[in-house]
Structure 1
Amino acid sequence: MSPRRQVVLAILVLALLGLQVRLWTGEGSLRHVASLKQTVATKQSENQLLFERNRLMAADVDDLKSGLDAVEEIARRDLGMVRAGETFFLMIEETGEDDAAAR
């Protein structure tokens, strides 16, 4: 083998080794691509949850815009609304600890 061929062969081997190193390490490597795929899958599942939450919120907004039933329900639950003529009863449950302390 001539020295010229040996130099060309050595350059080709070094280039092949350099490409292999790049393939297995660094940005764009197989490990990096797998990590990015995992990140994309995680973000897609988060986006699906957020999409569902937004859909429910849009339905609530439509209910609030279309009628008073949803507004009344929220007022009763969160603000303690009682209509005229209604009687409000507050039921307080005694816990087991209070019963033992009273004895």
Structure 2
Amino acid sequence: MWRDNWVTFVLLVLLGLLQYRLWFGKNSVPDYLALKQEVQQQSQQNDNLAQRNNLLKADISDLKIGLESIEERARNELGLIKQGETFYRILPAEN
């Protein structure tokens, strides 16, 4: 009789230790959920960076291929105009 109770007690203690380790120990369920969220954030950041890289690759390819993109950049970023063109600046009306 005592032997049956002893085995049950030992098994319950082992079950308790395993449950403690599952919920509060190293690599527990909360750690897993935190890492899962961190991986999701990193994946989102990687997707954003990949999209940015694709846009930069497209810009590089445009710059290598044609002069039109170089001219567009010079006009927009540097404010340059072609020879013989007239520059008009339209200002908003003052109140």
- The normalised TM-score by structure 2 is 0.86
Identity of aligned residues (%): 39
Could you list the runs of 5+ residues in structure 1 that have no partner in the other structure? none
Runs of 4+ residues deviating >6 angstroms = none
* 1:74 counterpart residue number: 73
Count of residue pairs the alignment pairs up: 95
Q: Note the C-alpha offset of 1:39.
A: 1.2
Q: Which sections of structure 2, spanning at least 5 residues, go unmatched?
A: none
Q: So what's the TM-score if we normalise by structure 1? A: 0.80
- After superposition, residues 1-103 of structure 1 pair within 5 angstroms as 1-2=1-2, 6=6, 8-95=7-94, 99=95
Following superposition, the deviation at residue 26 of structure 1 comes to: 2.8
Task: Provide the rounded CA distance (Å) in 2 between the counterparts of 1:66 and 1:76.
Answer: 18
Q: CA RMSD in A?
A: 1.8
Displacement of 1:16 after TM fit?
A: 1.7
1:66: how far off? 0.8
